[in-house]
């Protein structure tokens, strides 16, 4: 039994319903019922006319008789559903109570519901209103989705343009500070030197922030050019890039054999590099960083864990570290801009995977990545 509240008149007022039935009496009854409720009603006496009417202007809903000469309701429904121009219009089948209604066939043809003749007005109206409500909500959802996508694109474009335009003036600031230091070194006292150093450091930090932000905004701008990438090569490149920190800290990095995945090489390097450099960075004083990269295959998905023996993360911080600019520690203690993990998340999601973290303060942290198994790569 349906217990829907009637749609408010503002919602029903403009809904446009097409009734298709070869019996004029049925058309009249239904039409009167719907017009009384404020619907706009169109009528068609056979399948051909119905299709032409829907094509010329798709209604909000179709009530479609099953038993009609020449083209029956199932056939009309199939034709409408195979045409992209008309496929989105919901169809409710009408069947006589004494006819054997093939419900499975009705749903398989693309119908969303059915009503039986003779019509029970309350039931017919409830079913119609229910479908119209679904239709409206679907439209709303599509619209909101489009709006969201657009505003997301605009925001990214904004971040890109702003960061790009900020780079040059900032370069001038740090450049002139360097010149001042070089040219007037002997005439400046210690306080002035200190001020200049601070300006230079702050400027450089801002430059890094801008570059990281640019890299973050660019991930979605890059073409989805996915190739088969051997993650062992990616790791090799990353350890080369991080060689200085690895050697100075005498870090131990071990790993299981890494898989081949479908991906973008530069982005995969960015991903592993940030995770490993975090493992090297967030480490207690006088501790040798020990990082292990584990690999397992779980239900067609590679699960890669990057485990460190670092300072760990408190449970209340676990969610927010994946957001842009979210850092738990001061930049003085652990340098960085707080964009690394947000970039990692974007990269993993672009590779149709997920990223999550498990951590225990004082013991260490493991970041997990899931990446789809690439059958092509593992032949
Ligand atoms: N392995 C880890 N151990 C402990 N804390 C971590 C670890 N990885 C990340 N964090 C915490 O999460 C925060 C966000 O990490 P993220 O990589 O985004 O930024 P960052 O390393 O500070 O800066 P960036 O990567 O942009 O240079 C870090 O500031 C740190 O507080
Ligand atoms: Mg980082």
Q: Is the CB of 308 under 6 A from ligand 1?
A: yes
Beta bridge partners of 16: 40
Q: In the prediction, which pLDDT does 379 show?
A: 63
Q: Output 307 or 107, whichever has higher pLDDT.
A: 307
Atom 25 of ligand 1: nearest residue by CA position: 340
Q: How many CA atoms lie within 13 A of 257 on its CB side?
A: 3
For ligand 1, is residue 264 a contact (CB within 6 Å)?
no
Helix, strand, coil shares of the chain, percent, nearest 5, are: 50, 20, 30
Q: State in Å: Cα 272 to ligand 1 middle.
A: 13
Q: Which of 56, 45, 57 is nearest to 19 (CA)?
A: 45
Same domain for 298 and 339, yes or no, is yes
Measured over the CA atoms of residue 277, residue 283, residue 287 and residue 293, the dihedral's sign is negative
Q: Do the Cβ atoms of 20 and 76 come closer than 8 Å?
A: yes
Within this chain, do residues 243 and 367 fall inside the same structural domain, yes or no? Answer: yes
Instruction: Determine which helix (DSSP H) or strand (DSSP E) holds 196, and give its type and residue range.
Output: helix 190-218
Task: Give the least confident one: 6-15, 117-126, 256-265.
Answer: 6-15
The per-residue pLDDT for 161 is: 83
Which residue, chain included where needed, has tokens 């203690």? 333
- 6-15, 108-117, 145-154, 219-228: segment of lowest average pLDDT: 6-15
- Ligand 1 and 289: CB distance under 6 A: no
147 backbone dihedrals φ, ψ, rounded to 5°: -60, -45
Number of domains in the chain: 3
Ligand lying closest to the C-alpha of residue 362: 1
Specify the residue with its C-alpha closest to ligand 1, atom 20: 338
Q: Is residue 140 part of a domain?
A: no
Is the CB–ligand 1 distance for residue 353 below 6 Å? no
Long-range CB pairs of 221-225, under 8 A, 24+ apart, other chains included: 221/156, 221/160, 222/264, 222/267, 224/264, 224/350, 225/264
> 339 φ, ψ to 5°?
-105, -15
Residue 87 lies in a domain: yes
Residue 222, phi-psi category: left (phi > 0), alpha (psi -120 to 50), beta (remainder): beta
Is the minimum distance from the CB of 365 to ligand 1 under 6 angstroms?
Answer: yes
Q: Are residues 175 and 196 in the same domain?
A: yes
Residue 13 sits in a domain whose CATH number is 3.40.50.2300
**Could you tell me which residue, 354 or 2, shows the higher pLDDT?**
354
Residues 158 and 298 in one domain: no
* pLDDT, mean of residues 214-234: 84
| Close Cβ partners of 35 (under 8 Å, ≥ 6 residues apart) | 41
Residues 212 and 295 reside in one and the same domain? no
Residue carrying the six token digits 């408010």: 8
List, for residues 62-75, the tens digit of each pLDDT value: 999 998 998 999 99
How far, in Å, is the centroid of ligand 2 from the Cα of 311?
14
Q: Does residue 360 have its Cβ closer than 6 Å to ligand 1?
A: no
Question: 47 — phi, psi (to 5°)?
Answer: -60, -45
By residue range, what is the domain housing residue 109? Answer: 9-119
Using DSSP, state whether 113 is helix, strand or coil: strand
pLDDT at residue number 117 = 84
Is the CB–ligand 1 distance for residue 274 below 6 Å? yes
**pLDDT (0 to 100) of residue 101:** 67
- Ligand 2 midpoint to CA 210 (Å): 15
364 lines ligand 1 (CB under 6 A): no
168 with 269, same domain: the answer is no
Residue 142 placed within a domain: no
> 97 pLDDT band (50/70/90 cuts)?
low
Q: What does the pLDDT look like over 285-329, one tens digit per residue?
A: 889 999 999 999 998 899 999 999 999 999 999 989 998 877 787
Same domain? For 246 and 327 the reply is yes
Q: What is the pLDDT of residue 118?
A: 85
Residues 314 and 372 in one domain: yes
Q: Which CATH number belongs to the domain containing residue 293 in this structure?
A: 3.30.565.10
Q: Would residue 132 count as lying in a domain?
A: no
CA of 277 to the centre of ligand 1 (A): 9
pLDDT of 338 above 90: no
pLDDT grade for 99, boundaries at 50, 70 and 90: low
Average pLDDT over residues 152-171: 84
Q: Is 294 part of a structural domain of the chain?
A: yes
Strand partners, 295: 304
Phi, psi at residue 121, to the nearest 5°? Answer: -55, -45
Q: In the predicted model, is pLDDT for residue 194 greater than 80?
A: yes
320 and 261 co-located in one domain: yes
User: How remote is the CA of residue 317 from the centroid of ligand 2, in Å?
Assistant: 15
Distance of CA 368 to the CA centre of its chain: 19
Mean pLDDT of 339-352: 93
**pLDDT(330) > 90:** no
Closest ligand to residue 344's CA? 1
Is residue 235 a part of any domain in this protein?
A: yes
Task: Determine if ligand 1 sits within 6 Å of the CB of residue 79.
Answer: no
In whole angstroms, give the CA distance from residue 172 to residue 161: 18
Looking at the structure, do residues 212 and 243 belong to the same domain, yes or no? no
Domain boundary among 179, 194, 218: 218
Are residues 168 and 209 part of one domain? yes
Q: What is the pLDDT of residue 333?
A: 79
What local confidence, expressed as pLDDT, does residue 301 receive?
94
- Strand extents, DSSP E, 67-144: 91-96, 113-117
Q: Average pLDDT of 19-41?
A: 92
218, 248, 273 - which closes a domain: 218
**Which ligand has the nearest atom to the CA of 335?**
1
Give the whole-angstrom CA distance, residue 173 versus residue 207.
Answer: 11
pLDDT in the model for residue 2: 42
Listed as own residue / partner, the contacts of 313-320 with beta carbons closer than 8 Å and 24 or more positions apart are 313/357, 313/359, 313/361, 313/365, 314/361, 315/359, 318/357, 318/359
Nearest CA to ligand 1 atom 17: 340
Position 378 confidence tier, pLDDT thresholds 50, 70, 90: low
Q: Which of 181, 200, 218 marks a domain boundary?
A: 218
Q: Is 156 exposed, middle or buried (0-12, 13-18, 19+ CB in 10 A)?
A: middle
Residue 185 has a pLDDT of 86
Q: Which residues contact residue 57 at a Cβ distance below 8 angstroms, ignoring those fewer than 6 apart?
A: 16
321 lines ligand 1 (CB under 6 A): yes
Residue 208: the pLDDT is: 86
Q: Whose CA is nearest to atom 1 of ligand 1?
A: 279
Who's near 311: CB < 8 A, 6+ residues apart?
282, 283, 284, 361, 362
Q: Taking the CB of residue 9, how many other CB atoms lie within 10 A of it?
A: 9
In this structure, is residue 131 part of a structural domain?
Answer: no
Verify whether ligand 1 is closer than 6 Å to residue 329 (CB atom). Answer: yes
The proportion of the chain whose per-residue pLDDT surpasses 90, expressed as a percent, equals 66
Average pLDDT over residues 245-254: 96
Q: pLDDT tier at 4 (50, 70, 90 boundaries)? A: very low
Share above pLDDT 70 across residues of the chain, in percent, rounded to a whole number:
94
Beta bridge partners of 57: none
Residue 214 lies in a domain: yes
The answer to whether residues 246 and 205 belong to one domain is no
């Amino acid at each position: 039994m349906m217990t829907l509240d009637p749609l408010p008149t503002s919602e029903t007022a403009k809904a446009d319903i097409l009734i298709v039935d070869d019996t004029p009496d049925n058309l009249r009854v239904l039409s009167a019922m719907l017009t009384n409720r404020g619907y706009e009603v169109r009528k068609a006496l056979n399948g051909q006319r119905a299709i032409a009417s829907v094509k010329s202007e798709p209604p909000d809903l179709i009530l479609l008789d099953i038993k009609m000469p020449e083209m029956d309701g199932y056939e009309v429904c199939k034709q409408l559903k195979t045409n992209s121009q008309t496929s989105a219009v919901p169809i409710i089948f009408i069947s006589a109570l004494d006819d054997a209604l093939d419900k499975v066939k009705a749903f398989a043809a693309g119908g969303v519901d059915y009503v039986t003749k003779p019509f029970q007005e309350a039931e017919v109206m409830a079913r119609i209103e229910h479908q119209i409500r679904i239709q409206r909500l679907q439209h709303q959802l599509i619209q909101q989705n489009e709006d969201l996508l657009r505003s997301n694109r605009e925001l990214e474009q904004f971040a890109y343009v702003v960061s790009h335009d900020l780079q040059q003036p900032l370069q001038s600031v740090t450049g002139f500070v360097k010149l001042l230091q070089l040219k007037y070194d002997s005439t400046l006292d210690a306080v002035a030197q200190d001020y200049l150093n601070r300006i230079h450091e702050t400027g450089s930090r801002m430059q890094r922030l801008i570059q990281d932000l640019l890299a973050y905004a660019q991930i979605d701008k890059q073409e989805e050019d996915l190739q088969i990438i051997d993650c062992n090569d990616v790791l090799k490149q990353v350890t080369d890039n991080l060689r200085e920190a690895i050697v100075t800290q005498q870090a131990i990095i071990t790993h299981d054999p890494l898989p081949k995945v479908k991906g973008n090489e530069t982005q995969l390097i960015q991903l592993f590099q940030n995770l490993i450099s975090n493992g090297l960075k967030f480490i207690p004083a006088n501790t040798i960083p020990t990082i292990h990269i584990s690999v397992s295959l779980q239900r067609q998905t590679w699960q890669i864990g990057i485990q460190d023996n670092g300072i760990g993360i408190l449970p209340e911080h676990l969610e927010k570290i994946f957001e842009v600019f979210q850092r738990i520690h001061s930049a003085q203690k652990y340098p960085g801009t707080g964009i690394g993990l947000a970039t990692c998340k974007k990269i993993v999601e672009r590779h149709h995977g997920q990223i999550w973290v498990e951590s225990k303060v004082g013991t260490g942290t493991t970041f997990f990545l899931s990446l789809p198994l690439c059958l092509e790569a593992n032949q």
